[in-house]
Amino acid sequence: MAQPPPDPRFVLRGTGAAVHALRFSCGGEEPAVPILFSGSENGFIHVWNLKTHRVDATLDGHGRKSVYWLETMDSKDRLLSQGRDQRICLWDLAEGRTAVMDSVFTENVGFCRSSLLKVAQGRWLMAMAAKTLEEVQVLELPSKTSVCTLKPEMGAKLGMPMCLKLWQGSCGSQPSLLAGYEDGSVLLWNLSTGKVLSQLICHQEPVMSLDFDSERAKGISGSSEKVLSIWSLNEQQNLQAQKTHRLVNAGISDITIRPDKKILATAGWDHRIRIFGWKKLKPLAVLDYHTATVHSVSFSDHKSPSDRLLAAGAKDHRISIWSIYTQT
């Protein structure tokens, strides 16, 4: 009846270490080559050429400490990377260069992936876990000035922030931050006042990853337990739990919603990538290729829908590239 799940389009080998971060940059005009950036546990960032399936360049800027977040600023020439050496580096990759232009010393020893949001031409906001345990700091880039520091109230006992998402409603509205914490709750912060707008306990275990769809005002979070939690934001900016989805095996490391908001992918500790429909969280596919925990999933930003790809990086040193549900 139902077709068996597809195999990966191709598999990128050669990172030499567990892959923790992935980012596509395929939106450029022809003859620009579609690129995939991958960050590994050995501190290297590999720049993969998706036409030749080979590494074009290797960036070494984090002192052999694991790189766990990658983000492009505008194009593939500017890359932000965050590593466990407590630094966030800004790379200049234009014209074949591989130099660190600037860096921010976060003084944070955790694993929380930062979040970047473009607010105006040439201006970005970046949220990152700060030095003190429960705090999140928001910086403006490229000036690196601090916009605000978000500190939960005394006795909140949220634990450290585990995942962050900066978002902005319609153009011109205030940017907000969604943060998932160690105690399983998700908080909505107002950046201008620095106060909590709403708090929702989504999980019993730490929130490992979350993603948010600002158009539908609906978000999803995954944790180390067997449950995916879907919540929404109403007009009063209150977080409300909508539903939960129970998984076969526990543990989710990463969740990402495709830019066209039709499907989402989760990276699981049970070595499987699960695809769901975003509208009703209908399970669509279980992609079983990796032989170890999948750390990161990412959708590509191709202009043409039929070229879209999904990348998954796992502890088995491999990056699998899938082409799934590209017809819609």
Partner 1 sequence: MGWFVPDGRCVMLASFLGCRVFPPQEEYRIAVRSVSPSVKIFTLAADLEYHCSSSSQLMYFFLFSSPSEEILSVLMPHLTDLTKSDCIWQRICWRLVECVPERWMEAVVLGFVQRAPGADVLSRLLGNLVVKNKKAQFVVTQKMLLLQYGYTTAVLQNLLGYLSLDSLRRALLIKVLHELLETWGSSSAVKHSPVEQQQYISKAILICLSHLKEPEIESCRQELLTSMMEGVKCHLDSSLPQIRRLGMIVAESISSKVNTDGPVLQFQVKVTVKFLSAVWGTEGIQSFIQLPKDSLPLWANSCLYFVYSDDDLIPYDMSEDKELKKTKAPMYIRDCIEVLTGSEDLDKWEEAVKALESLVRRNPAAAREVSVELAKILLHLEEKTCLEGFAELRQKAQVAVLTTDPIPVAQYLTSQFYSLNYSLRQRMDILDVLVLAAQELSCAKGHGKTKHSGAQNPRIQLLPESGSSKDWRRIVDERIKSKTRRFAKTQVEQPSGPNEFNSLAGHFFFPLIQNFDRPLSTFDLLGEDHFVLGRLVHTLAVLMYLAVNTMAVTAMGKALLEFVWALRFHTDSYVRQGLLSCVSSILLSVPAEHLLQDVTEELLETRSWLEDVVEKDPDGDCRRLALQNLLLMENLKKKLETAPS
- Residues in Cβ contact with 15 at an 8 Å cutoff, skipping those fewer than 6 apart: 38, 40, 42, 44, 46, 313, 317, 318, 319
| Position 282 contacts partner 1 (CB under 8 A) | yes
| One-letter amino acid for residue 139 of the chain | L
Q: Do residues 305 and 319 touch, judged by C-beta distance below 8 A? A: no
Q: Verify binding: residue 326, partner 1, rule CB under 8 A.
A: no
Closest CB 263 distance from partner 1, rounded Å = 7
Residue with tokens 């040439």: 122
Q: Which lies closer to partner 1 via its Cβ, residue 165 or residue 315?
A: 315
CA distance 97 to 59: 10
Our finding on whether 306 is near partner 1 (CB under 8 A) is no
- The DSSP element (H or E) to which 3 belongs, if any, is none
Stretch in the footprint of partner 1 (CB under 8 A) among 33-41, 119-127, 144-152, 245-253: 245-253
Which one of residues 283, 292, 305, 307 is an interface residue with partner 1 (CB under 8 A)?
283
Q: Are 255 and 220 in contact (CB under 8 A)?
A: yes
Instruction: Using the rule CB under 8 A, give the single segment among 37-45, 76-84, 185-193, 242-250 that binds partner 1.
Output: 242-250
* 305 sits near partner 1 (criterion: CB under 8 A): no
Taking the complex as a whole, the smallest distance from the CB of residue 69 to partner 1 amounts, in Å, to 27
Half-sphere exposure of 231 (CA within 13 A, CB side): 24
CB nearer to partner 1: pick between 156 and 227? 227
Q: Kindly identify the residues of this chain, within the stretch 252-281, that bind partner 1 according to CB under 8 A.
A: 262-263, 270-272, 274, 277, 279-280
**Binding residue for partner 1, selected from 201, 284, 301, 316, defined by CB under 8 A:** 284
Query: Least distance from C-beta 268 to partner 1, angstroms?
Result: 9
Q: Please, which residue, 1 or 171, has the CB nearer to partner 1?
A: 1
**Does 1 sit near partner 1 (CB under 8 A)?**
yes
Q: How far is CA 278 from CA 180, 211, 241, 261, in A?
A: 20, 11, 16, 7
Residues in a beta bridge with 197? none
In angstroms, the CA 288 to CA 5 distance is 8
CB of 276 to partner 1, least distance (A): 10
Inter-CA distances, 292 with 244, 273, 283, Å: 26, 11, 22
Q: Footprint of partner 1 on this chain (CB under 8 A)?
A: 1-6, 246-249, 262-263, 270-272, 274, 277, 279-280, 282-286, 288, 325, 328
